[in-house]
Amino acid sequence: MFTEGDPRLGKLLDGIVRLAAGELHSRIEVSPARDELDAVIMGTNLLAEDLQIMYQELEQRVELRTRLLNEAHLEMQKMALTDSLTGLANRAALVSALNDTLTEAERGDLPPAVLLLDLDAFKGINDSLGHAAGDQVLTAVGERIKGSVRDTDTVARLGGDEFAVLMPATTLARAASVGNRILAALDSQVELENDSVQCGASMGLCIGGAGQSAEQLLMEADVAMYASKAGGRNRLKVFEPAMLHARQLRSQLIDDLRTAISESELVLFYQPVVALASGRIEGAEALVRWQHPSRGMVMPDEFIPLAEDAGLISELGGWVLRTAVRQLQDWRAEGRAGDDFSMRINISPTDLQRLEFIEEVRDALSGAGISPELLVLELTEGAIVSGNELDRYSLSSLRKLGVGLEIDDFGTGYSSISYLRKLPVDKVKVDRSLLKDLGTDPAQPDLIAAILQLIRACGLEAVWEGVETAEQARHLASIGCVSAQGYYFGRPVPADEFAAVLEAQRASHHGS
Ligand code: C2E
Ligand code: CA
Ligand code: CA
């Protein structure tokens, strides 16, 4: 038994207070008496032991959970900073790394350089071979870029087919040589399951200047990349301030063009297509011009590519289609054109990608009461040959509609005989470059004869464009060419002038 004032009682109380305060390792001393009080003390110690073990377990569990949570957090951060397809850095990661290197440059390091590249042929690959193939190409490109740079460089995919490389602390010369190494690496074919594709790139390079932000640097690399695209693909361009000016001009021109289409600043000129044997005008090619309020007449080579890039081409193409068909209707109503006169218009490759285009052609024709075979659509070889399912569908639908289809600029591009035979076209317009050397190059007449034979063997008719001299016209007629077009027969002229030419032809016909 214990008595009041037993010192162990005080120790027990102390011990309980310590345990309650969280000192789970503290124990209460047991006396040699081994009486009931000692039993309580031992019981309390056992409780403390249990508590301590439970507490430790809890701590371990919390530790584990915390670690898992941290890992998940890191994984999420990584995901937020990587491109899931290629495993490369993404835009956010690039910008953050770029900010770091800019800060280091401020402390006296060499400046960083940014390379931006955009694949030249990617859209075509994706459209014609499918997204799985497209993904494979993107992954392969990412690997090739990674294989061309140092481990300390950041390789990022910024979305779509756009990649970037950040080289910290470098010089323009080194960055340019890395850029050229990447271009060389991208120059060889990418092997896919059933195909192999070539996928060059346009590349812009920009080196960080004092006080520049990451956004500014990326924007300048982007401007340089666009300049590289414009200057013929597969090359590297270093940013120059003058490029900014060109870009401003360009975006100004795009704005202007948008207005031009809605405010009817566009006009069609017409150039005669003639029958070589008789000189009779058998049709007209509508060629668009832009009467810019301050720049004067802008030629199509300058603004058609712009309209393509800015997504304005279908509006422009629709306008050309309706205007040319209406013009044909007018000339027919005035008796200047008959059933032996057809209208030709140029179709952009993107038009073939729009299913509505077929409807637009049908509507324009039925609205004007023109029978389909009096309209000929000119398509460039490249547009058809690199074409995908949709193109083929559009072509055969147009074919069913009954409009004439003609390959334009034949001889400049892919020129495969098997394609010529497979395509649902009935005419071929031979590019004017083929006539250029007639008269100077002694081999040229043979080449022209061979091309004519080739086209005929495929069951097609040829129209020769770019006839500038009587001698060229005579030569073509002598080898049996049927139709031709060129400055020799008439330059593209406004509608009223063309109407006068038609009128003169009619008068002379009636006179003779
Ligand atoms: P294209 O279809 O090959 O048109 C023929 C171009 O050659 C025209 O230039 C014409 O003026 C020019 N040309 C005609 N005869 C001769 C000649 O004897 N000698 C020389 N050196 N040139 C000749 P233009 O009007 O500047 O058109 C350039 C290109 O712009 C066209 O090439 C065509 O690809 C495109 N284009 C024109 N109008 C349209 C349009 O309405 N829609 C689309 N999508 N493209 C158009
Ligand atoms: Ca043409
Ligand atoms: Ca042409």
pLDDT of 149 reads: 96
| DSSP run (H or E) holding 378 | strand 375-380
Spacing of C-alpha 457 from chain mean position: 37
Give 395's contacts (C-beta < 8 A, 6+ positions apart): 352, 384, 387, 405, 423, 424, 425
Ranges of beta strands (E only) in 215-368 are 236-238, 266-275, 281-292, 296-298, 342-347
* Ligand 1 pocket check for 271: Cβ under 6 Å: yes
Of 99-103, 180-184, 349-353, 356-360, which gets the smallest average pLDDT?
349-353
Q: Which spans in 288-355 are helix H? A: 300-309, 313-333, 349-352
- Look at residue 417 and tell me whether its pLDDT is greater than 80: no
Q: Which atom of ligand 1 is nearest to the CA of 380?
A: 34
Return residues with CB closer than 5 A to ligand 2 (ion). Answer: 346, 378, 408
Instruction: Give yes or no for a contact between 466 and 245, defined as CB atoms under 8 angstroms apart.
Output: no
Identify which of 303, 273, 297, 301 has the alpha carbon closest to the alpha carbon of residue 285.
273
Q: Which atom of ligand 1 is nearest to the CA of 468?
A: 18
Tell me the backbone φ, ψ of residue 370, rounded to 5 degrees: -105, 135
- Look at residue 263 and tell me whether its pLDDT is greater than 80: yes
Q: What angle do CA 247, 253, 256 make, to 5 degrees?
A: 145
Q: Which atom of ligand 1 is nearest to the CA of 313?
A: 44
pLDDT band at 196 (very low <50, low <70, confident <90, very high): confident
Q: Is the dihedral of CA 35, 39, 40, 41 positive or negative?
A: positive
pLDDT of 229 reads: 86
Spatial separation of the C-alpha atoms in residues 364 and 358, rounded to whole Å:
10
Identify which of 183, 162, 10, 178 has the alpha carbon closest to the alpha carbon of residue 85.
162
pLDDT band at 351 (very low <50, low <70, confident <90, very high): confident
- Look at residue 422 and tell me whether its pLDDT is greater than 90: no
Tell me the backbone φ, ψ of residue 376, rounded to 5 degrees: -115, 130
pLDDT of 352 reads: 82
Instruction: Give yes or no for a contact between 374 and 366, defined as CB atoms under 8 angstroms apart.
Output: no
pLDDT of 415 reads: 55
* Ligand 1 pocket check for 304: Cβ under 6 Å: yes
* Ligand 1 pocket check for 300: Cβ under 6 Å: yes
| DSSP run (H or E) holding 385 | helix 381-385
Confidence (pTM) = 0.70
pLDDT of 410 reads: 87
Ligand nearest the Cα of residue 347 is 1
- As a whole number of Å, the CA-based R_g of the chain is 38
17-28, pLDDT tens digit by residue?
998 888 999 999
Comparing 247 with 204, which gets the higher pLDDT?
A: 204
Q: Look-up: residue for tokens 């597969």?
A: 234
Strand partners, 192: none
Of 70-79, 166-175, 286-295, which gets the smallest average pLDDT?
70-79
pLDDT of 423 reads: 75
Spatial separation of the C-alpha atoms in residues 184 and 92, rounded to whole Å:
28
Spatial separation of the C-alpha atoms in residues 23 and 14, rounded to whole Å:
11
Instruction: Give yes or no for a contact between 413 and 380, defined as CB atoms under 8 angstroms apart.
Output: yes
Both tokens assigned to 481: 């060419």
CA of 311 from ligand 1 middle (Å) equals: 21
pLDDT of 65 reads: 92
The single-letter code of the amino acid at 413 is: G
Q: Which atom of ligand 1 is nearest to the CA of 271?
A: 14
Comparing 342 with 125, which gets the higher pLDDT?
A: 342
Strand partners, 292: 296
Strand partners, 343: 284, 375
Identify which of 275, 305, 326 has the alpha carbon closest to the alpha carbon of residue 473.
275
311-340, pLDDT tens digit by residue?
899 999 999 999 999 999 999 999 999 999
pLDDT band at 418 (very low <50, low <70, confident <90, very high): low
pLDDT band at 467 (very low <50, low <70, confident <90, very high): very high
Instruction: Give yes or no for a contact between 435 and 464, defined as CB atoms under 8 angstroms apart.
Output: yes
- Look at residue 448 and tell me whether its pLDDT is greater than 80: yes
Long-range pairs for 89-92: beta carbons < 8 A, 24 or more residues apart: 89/154, 89/155, 89/156, 89/157, 90/156, 90/157, 90/158, 91/156, 91/158, 91/159
266-283, pLDDT tens digit by residue?
999 999 999 999 999 999
Both tokens assigned to 134: 């497209």
Give the strand pairing for 196-197 and 190-191: antiparallel
DSSP calls for 408-437: EEETSS---HHHHHHSS--EEEEPTHHHHT
Strand partners, 409: none
Both tokens assigned to 127: 């459209």
pLDDT of 378 reads: 95
Ligand nearest the Cα of residue 314 is 1
Q: Pick from 291, 346, 429 the residue to mutate for probing ligand 1's pocket: most ligand atoms within 8 Å of its CB.
A: 346
Both tokens assigned to 103: 């800060």
Ligand nearest the Cα of residue 383 is 1
Q: Which atom of ligand 1 is nearest to the CA of 347?
A: 44
Query: What is the CATH number that goes with domain 91-239?
Result: 3.30.70.270
- Look at residue 512 and tell me whether its pLDDT is greater than 90: no
- Look at residue 451 and tell me whether its pLDDT is greater than 70: yes
Residue 459's CB is within 10 A of a number of other CB atoms, namely 9
Residue 359, Ramachandran bin (φ over 0: left; ψ between -120 and 50: alpha; else beta): alpha
pLDDT of 327 reads: 98
pLDDT band at 291 (very low <50, low <70, confident <90, very high): very high
Strand partners, 176: none
Spatial separation of the C-alpha atoms in residues 320 and 286, rounded to whole Å:
8
Q: What is the mean pLDDT of residues 51-71?
A: 92
pLDDT of 384 reads: 67
* Ligand 1 pocket check for 208: Cβ under 6 Å: no
pLDDT band at 202 (very low <50, low <70, confident <90, very high): very high
pLDDT of 419 reads: 67
pLDDT of 78 reads: 78
Of 3-12, 36-45, 107-116, 210-219, which gets the smallest average pLDDT?
3-12
Q: What 8-state DSSP symbol labels residue 299?
A: P
Q: What is the mean pLDDT of residues 502-509?
A: 88
Instruction: Give yes or no for a contact between 21 and 14, defined as CB atoms under 8 angstroms apart.
Output: no
Comparing 156 with 390, which gets the higher pLDDT?
A: 156
Spatial separation of the C-alpha atoms in residues 463 and 427, rounded to whole Å:
7
Spatial separation of the C-alpha atoms in residues 375 and 320, rounded to whole Å:
12
Q: What is the mean pLDDT of residues 190-216?
A: 88
The single-letter code of the amino acid at 324 is: A
Comparing 260 with 420, which gets the higher pLDDT?
A: 260
Across the chain, mean pLDDT equals 90
Comparing 464 with 444, which gets the higher pLDDT?
A: 464
Class of domain 250-511: alpha beta
pLDDT of 416 reads: 59
- Look at residue 475 and tell me whether its pLDDT is greater than 70: yes
Comparing 249 with 225, which gets the higher pLDDT?
A: 225
* Ligand 1 pocket check for 466: Cβ under 6 Å: yes
